[in-house]
Chains A and B, each alone.
Chain A
Amino acid sequence: MQAEIIDHVKFGILSPEQIRRLSVAKLTVPDTYNEDGYPIDGGLLDQRLGVIDPGLICKSCGARAKVCPGHFGHIDLIRPVVHSEFSKIVYLLLQSTCQQCHRILLNEEQVGEVKGKIRTLVETEINENGVGTEGERMDERDTLFKKLRNIKKCPYCEAVQQKVKFESPTYFYFGEIRLKPDEIRDMLTKITNDDLRVIGIDPLTSRPEWLILSALLVPPVNVRPSITLESGERSEDDLTHKLVDIMRINQRLEQNINAGAPQIIIDDLWELLQYNVTTYFNNETPGIPPARHRSGRALKTLAQRLKGKEGRFRYNLSGKRVNYSARTVISVDPYINIDEVGVPFEIASRLTIPFYVTAWNLEKAKELSERKEYPMVMGVTSRDGKRKRITDINREEVIKAIQVGDILERQVANGDIALFNRQPSLHRPSIMMHKVKVLPSRTFRLNYCTTHPYNADFDGDEMNLHIPQTLEAQAEAEYLMSVKDQIFSPRNGEAIITNNEDGITGMYLLTQDDTKLDKEEASYLLSLADVFELPDKSSAGKYSGKDVFSMLLPKGLDFEQKTKRGVVRIKNGKLLEGVLSKATYGTGSKLLAKISVDFGNDVLKDFISRSGRVAYAYSTTHGITVGIREYLITPKIEEARNKILKDTFAKVQELIVQYKNKKLDALIGHTLKESLEMLIIAELDKARISAGEQLVTHTTGDNHAITMVNAGSRGSILNLVQMSMLLGQQATSSGGRIKRGYMTNRVLPHIVPGDISPVAKGFVTSSYYMGFEPIDMYMHAIGSRTSVVYKAMLTAKSGYLQRRLINALQDYQVEKDFTVRDVHGNIVQTSYGGDSLDPTKLDMAEVAAKE
């Protein structure tokens, strides 16, 4: 499809001659439409500049709107003006050249030196410290200009140089005398090409006198389309407005000059023309007021169109809009595989995927086109590029015309390749290839396991789906982006697509030593994993949970891992010992790495999908739920809590007394006051930990919250403690106890000034279950607000960090010799990471190395 490939882009400046040659029309009338609503000839919407209204024909190329690419026009400026964006360069050139003979202010020897330097130009200059960063480091070019600025005498004609003054944005002075743009132009014209080359300017494309404008290029109307409001009124683009202003002033200037007006009036108008041209290029030029719209809004002129996040570069060029995509809310479905995505029928019937007609599938193509219901062919693009929709009326004739080389547009169906994505796309697995699975209802469905790489949940999140169109794109998606190849994180090689939450709880419960299932239950569970045979019965005619799980493991798998809760041992695909939990089955699972190494990612992805279904089913039939029951405060717990609080407060009080009596020993490297604070914090922390211990020992019976903690699937003891015992210390962003508040050295008005006891500094003794006392509530609110504010700051900061990192490192790749180079061939590492190993495969390498 690529007709012509851009090899390189050369930048330069248009000369007035080039502008006039490029132009199709010299514009003279500072207006747009006449009374009849027709574009004025020689006006800013002259039909030679192209057309935007449908039906009209371009007077330059004869094409209609949308086909006509638009043509440039020009305005002849009566008096030249400085191109304000380049005024800094004009300034540098004025400083660098002689005011008499206009040669560069370097003698021949120095010129030779500079030329040599440029040839061996190193990117950066290293200062005497050897460190070159930030403002200190400069281009060779900048150094040269700096040097030239201070030369007081021309080495050729020996003329003494006056001080060149520059007043932003467009005023230049020699001493006190202001230079008019035409004078500047004359000086710049006299600089020789050779001298320009010394400075680094390519004179063929960028003669500096062209920086002084005597002809202004007017962009085609396509670039500045006018819009018709509902009222029938026309509204012009900001650029058109600006150009009208320029032409008006230009016209007035001309009239005044012709009428022989006094110099002051001419100069005033000249200046006004300069202002309007300046704001036409950049309406945020520092030092001058922005041109405004009638409504008072600042006009958006050329520079504003390019700049910033919403500018042409970042909004339209770095990021592009695409077709063949869909977006909707996501929801769960554990019954689809991890590499599938449930696509609503309504979406599947609108998205299409190309079917390339070849000699080998011509029959199939015709057959497919016959279909009158989903999945059917929606349209045909014939080999000469004509598109045709298939309707019930024209189907017969279109089918007849189908031949090799045509492309059919078929509705998306099961098994088609799709890319699935959730923003923010922070890492590679934020966009993965899933196989389409068409489902009823209106949400995208995804397996819970893939939730982690996308960082998705189901509280209303939306995701995007893209259908790659070319075979090349489909192949790349399938072989590089598919879910099964993203199971292990490129960040550290840990498995990130794993079962989680109830998936882990279910597996934890299923593989308990005492789990026994009857035949019905075992069959049901295994049927979900497409296993239709039962394991050997264990005692009492029941099936053990471990044996049922073993049916899911690939035959021949040997695995062993020591965890905090004992060993998990798998021999020849049978779980002999141990309970599966997050450590073995969840994120970072070595078991999954082992399966990948021994059996490949296809087996692994099936294992995750199938075992997940069994786990969810088991946690459902077993019943795992939490309610208020889980957090009840029994008398024993309350007793333990009171004791902990009493002890802790006593200890803290003791510390304070010690401190006041100067008996406290300072921690090494800290002042006494710091030490006290640190010791108190440590004491309060201890209270929370012992509260956790007490809570676990005093919780009786089957507590699902604790089950989940043990399985590692959700929650921690800290959560439990905060709900049923005490909330603990509320932190501030500085990491210490809450300290600021009233000027009288207290956080809240309820507190005695200077009190540093736990409660006075944000230690909350109530639990969520008990409810808060007013002080507790305020302290908790302080902690909550702090973390909300901090979080907001963090996301903004880390987003920018990410953008900078990607921008800095995006050109690096591993070459075939395992060196890391940028696209220009500069070597960054001689062997990737020193050993050329892929971090994605690290966990796998680790398990493989054990053998």
Chain B
Amino acid sequence: MARKNNFLVTPGEPVGVIAAQSIGEPGTQMVLRSFHYAGVASSIATSGLPRLVEIVDTRKKPATPFAYVYLKGKAAKDFETAEQIAKKINEVRVSDIARRVIENFSKGTITIKMDVQRLQANELTARGVGSKIEKLTKTESRANENAILINTHTKNAKQIRTMAVQIGKMTINGIEGAGRAVVQEDKKSGEFFIQTNNSSLSEIMQVEGVDTSRVYTNDIFEMYRIFGVEAARNTISRELSTTLREQGIAVDPRHLDILADAMTSNGAIKNVGRRGLSGEKESIFARAAYEETVKHLINAAAFGERDDMKGVTENVLIGKQIMLGTGTITLAIKKEDLAKISGKEKKK
């Protein structure tokens, strides 16, 4: 009974349009109501239509980037070891462990009062932090258990303020740009992995114990830079799929794949819109009928371009049959048969 041939696509099927409709149609059904329940440690990620638009627009950086970092060997099974690795990744900035920052403009010093609890939680000492700041800013500092005094060598209030802000943003532990790293348990396999709320995958991959074959980020461009187009394509597809599934919308992966493949078909990532897929169409009319009508027509005239009238839009414009589906097929008849028919007609 189950013959694969019975369930194949029909050649000529306009799968692009169907994919676009399948992704676009449920857009109106997306809801705002999505309470993120406690316990799930994920910081509230962009979801629903805004996320969909973000993927399709190929924004340089997602609004809420994150990374999943799986671990090798023992760490995957042992929470403590995983925690140790997470600490290496977890980005700690001076502002995270400082209680107060006091600027003294007349003396030209900055005093940072440390939060001792947080220092200990991150296994840091005020002295260690002090020397790190010294190295990064090329200043002198003195430190005791819970405070750091930095001599800025200047009495310019503006410079002192700028320096204070800079110091606050300084990464003193973990990976810069990695964000908060938290150990999570994979509900399916029961192993531990690390989730970060920002992505610096290439640096994270340098950390020992990280299984580099199983890292993932929702940042499409980061995946592209590290792993290449194929990975970017898969990321697009996976992100689309997750976004839709979160909203309880079932869309066949084939449709998402078409979109992902179209966006990455020539080796670079192209967005959906006038500066990407639609803006690079060969046909002048197709571009003119989409957006920036006058611009496209003017350029075509100035350079003496030619439109081959093959695409869908062009043929709709001039009222010609489109070259998809049944439009790709023409009917032929044998000469003898034609004669038979017309002969009969004449007799009557």
Interface residues of A (CB under 8 A from B): 2, 5-13, 85-86, 89, 122-124, 126, 129-135, 137, 200-206, 208, 211, 282, 303, 306-308, 311, 313-314, 317-318, 320, 358-359, 404, 426-428, 476, 480, 490-494, 597, 667-670, 675, 678-679, 681-682, 685, 729, 731, 733, 735, 786-787, 790, 794-795, 797-799, 801-802, 804-816, 818, 820, 822-824, 826-829, 832-834, 836-839, 841-842, 844-845, 848-849, 851
For chain B, residues 52 to 100, give those with C-beta under 8 angstroms from any C-beta of chain A: 52-53, 56, 58
- B32 pairs with A733, CB closer than 8 A: yes
- A134 pairs with B36, CB closer than 8 A: no
Cα(A802)–Cα(B22), bound, Å: 9
Closest approach, in angstroms, between the C-beta of B115 and any C-beta of chain A? 13
- A306 pairs with B1, CB closer than 8 A: no
- A134 pairs with B268, CB closer than 8 A: no
- A202 pairs with B275, CB closer than 8 A: no
Of all chain A residues, the one with the shortest Cβ separation from B314 is A9
**B residues within 8 A CB of A359?**
344-345, 348
- B317 pairs with A810, CB closer than 8 A: no
Most chain-A Cβ atoms within 10 A of its Cβ — which of B4, B32, B44, B266?
B32
Picked from B52, B255, B284, the residue with its CB within 8 Å of the CB of A839 is: B255
Cα(A321)–Cα(B190), bound, Å: 61
**A residues within 8 A CB of B309?**
6-9
With known contacts A11-B307, A794-B30, A123–B313 Cβ distance under 8 A: no
- A829 pairs with B32, CB closer than 8 A: no
- B288 pairs with A313, CB closer than 8 A: yes
With known contacts A823-B323, A839-B254, A818–B9 Cβ distance under 8 A: yes
With known contacts A85-B298, A669-B41, A492–B258 Cβ distance under 8 A: no
Q: Is B216 an interface residue (CB 8 A)?
A: no
- B250 pairs with A813, CB closer than 8 A: no
Q: Is B141 an interface residue (CB 8 A)?
A: no
Number of interface residues of B (CB under 8 A): 118
Most chain-B Cβ atoms within 10 A of its Cβ — which of A7, A202, A426, A490?
A490
With known contacts A201-B303, A206-B302, A795-B28, A801–B56 Cβ distance under 8 A: yes
Can you give 29 A-B contacts (C-beta < 8 A)?
Answer: A6-B318, A11-B306, A13-B301, A13-B304, A123-B266, A132-B268, A133-B268, A133-B271, A306-B288, A317-B289, A427-B25, A490-B21, A491-B250, A491-B252, A669-B197, A733-B32, A735-B34, A801-B24, A808-B20, A808-B278, A812-B19, A814-B9, A815-B11, A823-B311, A823-B323, A832-B9, A839-B255, A848-B3, A848-B7
Closest approach, in angstroms, between the C-beta of B344 and any C-beta of chain A? 7
Of all chain A residues, the one with the shortest Cβ separation from B224 is A131
Cα(A122)–Cα(B265), bound, Å: 13
Closest approach, in angstroms, between the C-beta of A352 and any C-beta of chain B? 22
- B28 pairs with A816, CB closer than 8 A: no
- B38 pairs with A675, CB closer than 8 A: yes
With known contacts A809-B19, A829-B261, A669–B266 Cβ distance under 8 A: no
For chain B, residues 254 to 276, give those with C-beta under 8 angstroms from any C-beta of chain A: 254-255, 257-259, 261-262, 265-273, 275-276
Most chain-A Cβ atoms within 10 A of its Cβ — which of B52, B195, B303?
B303
Cα(A552)–Cα(B39), bound, Å: 50
With known contacts A313-B288, A809-B16, A844-B7, A11–B301 Cβ distance under 8 A: yes
With known contacts A491-B255, A731-B35, A812-B258, A9–B306 Cβ distance under 8 A: yes
Q: Is B248 an interface residue (CB 8 A)?
A: no
**A residues within 8 A CB of B286?**
807, 811
With known contacts A11-B304, A794-B28, A824–B310 Cβ distance under 8 A: yes
**B residues within 8 A CB of A667?**
38-39, 41
With known contacts A6-B318, A491-B25, A806-B24, A12–B225 Cβ distance under 8 A: no
Closest approach, in angstroms, between the C-beta of B265 and any C-beta of chain A? 5
- B306 pairs with A669, CB closer than 8 A: no
**B residues within 8 A CB of A845?**
2, 6-7
Of all chain A residues, the one with the shortest Cβ separation from B253 is A833
- B2 pairs with A849, CB closer than 8 A: yes
- A813 pairs with B302, CB closer than 8 A: no
**B residues within 8 A CB of A318?**
289, 313, 316-317
- A802 pairs with B20, CB closer than 8 A: yes
Picked from A123, A126, A306, A797, the residue with its CB within 8 Å of the CB of B280 is: A123
**B residues within 8 A CB of A842?**
7, 252
Q: Is B18 an interface residue (CB 8 A)?
A: yes
- A307 pairs with B294, CB closer than 8 A: yes
Cα(A276)–Cα(B282), bound, Å: 34
**B residues within 8 A CB of A798?**
24, 27-28, 30, 49
Interface residues of B (CB under 8 A from A): 1-4, 6-28, 30, 32-39, 41-44, 49, 52-53, 56, 58, 180, 182-183, 195, 197, 221, 224-225, 250-255, 257-259, 261-262, 265-273, 275-278, 280-282, 284-286, 288-290, 293-294, 297-313, 316-320, 323-326, 328, 344-345, 348
Cα(A313)–Cα(B38), bound, Å: 52
Most chain-B Cβ atoms within 10 A of its Cβ — which of A682, A805, A828, A844?
A805
Closest approach, in angstroms, between the C-beta of A417 and any C-beta of chain B? 16
**A residues within 8 A CB of B303?**
11, 200-202, 206
**A residues within 8 A CB of B305?**
10-11, 202
- A790 pairs with B262, CB closer than 8 A: no
Cα(A234)–Cα(B70), bound, Å: 78
Cα(A834)–Cα(B294), bound, Å: 40
**A residues within 8 A CB of B254?**
832-834, 837, 839
**A residues within 8 A CB of B324?**
811, 813, 823
Cα(A811)–Cα(B277), bound, Å: 11
Cα(A264)–Cα(B162), bound, Å: 57
Closest approach, in angstroms, between the C-beta of A137 and any C-beta of chain B? 7
- B8 pairs with A205, CB closer than 8 A: no
With known contacts A678-B37, A804-B273, A824-B310, A790–B17 Cβ distance under 8 A: no
The 5 closest A-B pairs by CB, nearest first: A798-B27, A202-B304, A812-B16, A802-B24, A809-B16
- A129 pairs with B225, CB closer than 8 A: yes
Closest approach, in angstroms, between the C-beta of A582 and any C-beta of chain B? 15
**A residues within 8 A CB of B297?**
11, 306
With known contacts A282-B294, A318-B289, A130–B225 Cβ distance under 8 A: yes
**B residues within 8 A CB of A807?**
277-278, 286, 290, 313
**B residues within 8 A CB of A816?**
11
Picked from B2, B25, B44, B308, the residue with its CB within 8 Å of the CB of A802 is: B25
Closest approach, in angstroms, between the C-beta of B219 and any C-beta of chain A? 12
Closest approach, in angstroms, between the C-beta of B310 and any C-beta of chain A? 5
Q: A359-B344, A731-B35, A735-B34 are in contact. List 8 more A-B contacts (CB 8 A).
A: A130-B224, A597-B1, A668-B183, A678-B36, A679-B38, A822-B16, A837-B7, A839-B22
Cα(A428)–Cα(B319), bound, Å: 21
Cα(A123)–Cα(B277), bound, Å: 11
With known contacts A426-B28, A811-B16, A685–B11 Cβ distance under 8 A: no
Cα(A126)–Cα(B324), bound, Å: 31
**A residues within 8 A CB of B36?**
678, 735
Cα(A208)–Cα(B221), bound, Å: 41
- B24 pairs with A426, CB closer than 8 A: yes
- B298 pairs with A426, CB closer than 8 A: no
- A810 pairs with B17, CB closer than 8 A: yes
Picked from A7, A131, A313, A494, the residue with its CB within 8 Å of the CB of B269 is: A131
- A814 pairs with B293, CB closer than 8 A: no
**A residues within 8 A CB of B180?**
669
Closest approach, in angstroms, between the C-beta of B26 and any C-beta of chain A? 8
- B261 pairs with A809, CB closer than 8 A: no
Cα(A603)–Cα(B266), bound, Å: 46
Most chain-A Cβ atoms within 10 A of its Cβ — which of B259, B272, B325?
B272
**B residues within 8 A CB of A597?**
1
- A404 pairs with B345, CB closer than 8 A: yes
Most chain-A Cβ atoms within 10 A of its Cβ — which of B2, B25, B183, B265?
B25
- B58 pairs with A133, CB closer than 8 A: yes
Of all chain B residues, the one with the shortest Cβ separation from A732 is B32
- A813 pairs with B325, CB closer than 8 A: yes
Cα(A154)–Cα(B142), bound, Å: 63
